[in-house]
Amino acid sequence: MSTKRLARTVIEGGRRRYNTFERRYSHRRQRVHVRAWLAAVRCDPEVAEARAAPGMEPVYKDFFDKLAPAERWLCARVGRPWREVEGEILATFDTRSLPGRHIVFDHLLPSRWQTPREGWRVHKRVWFWVDAQGRLRARSPVWGKRHRRAEVPGCRCARAFVGERRVGRRGARLYWLEPTGATPEERYRQGVELSAAERAAWEALCEAGRREVMRELPER
């Protein structure tokens, strides 16, 4: 997804449900008052000179944000140094525009009351924080009374990192496995080896996420 499309998608969620109800309710109230005013004018035309027709009640706008695309964008950068990720955010999104400022300062970056070490959430699925080595980390909270104090690493970050591909391991070397669309046994074919930056991002992912998207390759 392009940057411009992502910036537009995040703020195109439409009005919140309660705000939509308020707007419809204000229209309904206006129609009732206008009908009463018209009935009074029919009985006494001088009423139109005494008072004008009722106007629309003001209803302030409150929009719903679609934050899942922005969360996936940040998930794809888990494991990288936070200084680089923060620089990429400020270089990629135009903070001179309303969509850019909204994404950067309201969602992608921690608020002014939080620090990167304390963590923040872009949406409701993943919790982001910066570890002691200065790298971006993420995990998904486990909801429910039985697991109220438990947390497991988020496998969504690993899936966002590989996309449609998988990672194959042969000994100590890691290779990209490209999708072919063939049978399940031949769904992927071996591609190029992971670069140093890609391998560093891979090793920064959680163990559960790596197991989910990794395939063992036979020794040659």
Highest mean pLDDT among 90-94, 99-103, 168-172: 168-172
| pLDDT band at 3; cut points 50, 70, 90 | low
Do 125 and 191 lie in one domain? The reply is no
Q: Is residue 58 part of a domain?
A: no
Reading the block at residue 23, the tokens are: 């707007």
Over range 143-157, report the average pLDDT. Answer: 48
Q: What is the tens place of the pLDDT at every residue in 131-148?
A: 888 889 887 654 444 444
Chain centroid offset of residue 52 CA: 47
Q: What share of the chain in percent tops pLDDT 90?
A: 1
Q: What's the number of domains the chain is made of?
A: 3
pLDDT above 70 covers a percentage of the chain that reads: 79
Q: Which of 9-13, 52-56, 68-72, 166-170 has the highest mean pLDDT?
A: 166-170
Q: Is the pLDDT of residue 95 over 60?
A: yes
151 belongs to a structural domain:
no
Whether 29 is in a domain gets the answer: yes
Tell me the residue range of the domain where 180 lies.
157-216
Centre a 10 Å sphere on the Cβ of residue 20 and count the other Cβ atoms it contains.
14
In a domain, 176, yes or no: yes
Has residue 56 been placed in a domain?
no
Residues 166-204 as b/e (b if ≥16 CB within 10 A, e otherwise) read bbbeeeeebbbbeeeeeeeeeebeeeeebeeebeebbeb
Task: Please tell me the predicted confidence (pLDDT) of residue 181.
Answer: 66
Question: What pLDDT does residue 9 have?
Answer: 64
Of 207 and 131, the structure prediction assigns the larger pLDDT to 131
- What is the model's pTM? 0.46
- DSSP assignment string, the chain: --HHHHHHHHT-S-B-HHHHHHHHHHHHHHHHHHHHHHHHHHH-THHHHHSPPP-PPP----BPP--HHHHHHHHTTTTSBHHHHHHHHHHHS-TTSHHHHHHIIIIISPPTT--TTT-EESSSS-EEEE-TTSBEEEEEE--SSTTTT-EE--HHHHHHHHTT-EEEEETTEEEEEEE--S-GGGSEEEEEEP-HHHHHHHHTS-HHHHHHHEEEPPP-
Q: Is residue 124 part of a domain?
A: yes
Q: 39 and 101: one domain?
A: no
Q: How far is CA 142 from CA 16, 126, 206, 207, in A?
A: 27, 10, 15, 17
* 96 occurs within a structural domain: yes
| pLDDT (0 to 100) of residue 150 | 39
Q: Are residues 168 and 140 in the same domain?
A: no
pLDDT, the chain, mean: 77
pLDDT score of 153: 45
Q: Is residue 189 part of a domain?
A: yes
In this structure, are 127 and 164 located in the same domain? no
Same-domain pairing of 69 and 46: no
Q: Which two tokens stand for residue 64?
A: 């719903």
